Amino acid sequence: MAGPSPVSPLAPDHFASLPAVPGIRLAAGAAGIRYPGRTDVMVIELAAGTAAAGVFTRSLTAAAPVRWDRQVIASGRARAVVVNSGNANAFTGADGERVVARTARVAADTLGCAAEEVLVASTGVVGELLPVERLVAVLPLLFDSVSGDAWADAAQAIMTTDTYPKAATRQVLIGGVPVTINGIAKGAGMIAPDMATMLAFLATDAALPPVLLQELLSEAVARSFNAITIDGDTSTNDTALLFATGAAAHPPVNTADDPRLEDFRTGLAQVAAELAQMIVRDGEGATRFVTITVTGAETDQAAKRLACTVANSPLVKTAIAGADPNWGRIVAALGRAGERIDADALTIRIGGTLVAAHGGPVPAYDEAPVAAHMQGRTIDIAIDAGIGFGAATVWTCDLTHGYIDINADYRS
């Protein structure tokens, strides 16, 4: 693989420093799976009794770790996570299944738990056998060195073509008691989650039952990791996991409609959205971060499909890369999205400037402010479908030659 790319021009000005979460300890190390001279394995030790929830790719070629994790998450509890970068262990047949089982077994033997309590995640090249002996050789040492302060190291170890680690945190209240929510993620290409190569690991010291935790994670993912796209490709390995250790001594909360949960729900949504947007800002070759908001659609689902069709359009994305305010490409994408729009009521705004309405261009349209907006790093496109009250927001980036360079050299 080629050397590391320069940090994305869309990277945040600073990166979050994550506090320790009681009941969560992490470590990172180098197993030499693909990347010489850098960390490529991350482990998380979870306190006994930790509740676990997960959302995974819907790809019909889902990787072996995803299939394993679905079974672990069904129990609602977990004791550990093992993550490697550099090899996706996807489409590797029975050998891939054996790699996951061996990884879980070695981790379990090290911790003194059952293999069925260990989650495994992988990211990297598809269709290559993972050198499992290199991976399991480092696990005892890593679990022996876990720390509550190793979030930054863990975020670094799971990167592939990412140019920077991704982390976010919030402090919230449940029944007046402080609770922490931390999250790390990776992803820069093969991003169009259907639940990217996308992995996300979130943890809290809240005491929440697994069924409720799953409901909250699915809700947060729908408006974050499932509302981004870089290249329209859904990964075989997409995984988002949420853990609740139960260490916080807040009043019991068992239902999603409990008003004491509102601050936690908001904080979780914010952490997930921040991580998702950082993935887009690190899009392979990206130079512009794009927000596409659709209102006036038949349903929220219809609005999301309209927004995603625009966001995934190569013509729209390359126009944005070239700072070309060619809104006709947006019109064309909307027309093929498969959702109802009223062409005579449709409106399109770029950077707040109305560019199209009532079935055509705006009279006396002045392209100058739109062209100036397109020169910036942050692009805003607002569309009203003129049909109903459905609304959605999707985040994407432009498509540049840098994307081709990165992916043409990915296995070299």
The per-residue pLDDT for 160 is 87
Residue 196, pLDDT score: 43
Domain assignment present for 16: no
For the beta sheet containing 239-244, the strands, ordered from the edge strand earlier in sequence to the opposite edge, are 51-56, 239-244, 199-204, 177-186, 166-174
Show the domain range for 55.
24-281
How does pLDDT run across 383-393, given as a tens digit for each residue? 999 999 999 99
Read off the pLDDT of residues 318-335 as tens digits, 9 standing for 90 and up. Answer: 999 999 999 999 999 999
**Residues 57 and 123 reside in one and the same domain:** yes
Residue 206's pLDDT is 98
Do 302 and 246 share a structural domain? no
Supply the pLDDT for residue 1: 42
212: domain CATH number is 3.60.70.12
Tell me: do 181 and 273 sit in the same domain: yes
The answer to whether residue 17 sits within a structural domain is no
Is 239 marked active-site?
Answer: no
Q: Quick one: 194 and 300 in the same domain? A: no
Structure confidence by residue, pLDDT tens digits, 165-213 = 999 999 999 999 999 999 999 987 655 555 445 899 999 999 999 999 9
Q: Is residue 237 part of a domain?
A: yes
Q: Is the same domain home to 165 and 95?
A: yes
Spatial distance between the Cα atoms of 290 and 311, rounded to a whole number of angstroms: 8
Cβ(251)–Cβ(174) under 8 Å?
yes
3-state secondary structure of 333: helix
274 and 385 in a single domain? The answer is no
- Residue at 166 is within a domain: yes
Domain presence at residue 5: no
Predicted pLDDT of residue 357: 96
What is the predicted pLDDT for the residue at 333? 97
The H or E element that residue 204 is part of is: strand 199-204
347, 233: one domain:
no
Residue count (the chain): 412
- Examine the domain organization and report whether 243 and 298 are in the same domain: no
Regarding whether 348 and 259 lie in a shared domain, the answer is no
Annotated binding residues for substrate: 160, 186, 197, 284, 407, 412
- Does a structural domain hold residue 179? yes
Domain boundary among 227, 253, 281: 281
Domain termination site, one of 255, 281, 307:
281
Boundary residue ending a domain (252, 281, 310): 281
Residue 73 to residue 50: CA distance in whole angstroms: 11
Tell me, yes or no, whether 31 and 83 share the same domain: yes
In total, how many domains does the chain have?
Answer: 2
Q: What is the structure's pLDDT at 131?
A: 96
* Alpha-carbon gap, residue 310 to 298, rounded angstroms: 17
Question: Is 313 found in the same domain as 348?
Answer: yes
Tokens, residue 217: 């994670």
For residues 113 and 149, state if they share a domain.
yes
* CATH number of the domain that residue 404 is part of: 3.10.20.340
* 220 assigned to some structural domain: yes
| Residue of 197, 229, 236, 239 with catalytic role | 197
Q: Which of 60, 133, 52 has the alpha carbon at shortest distance from 90?
A: 60
Low-confidence ranges of the chain (pLDDT < 50): 1-3, 195-196
What does the pLDDT read at residue 401? 85
Residue 12, in any domain of the structure: no
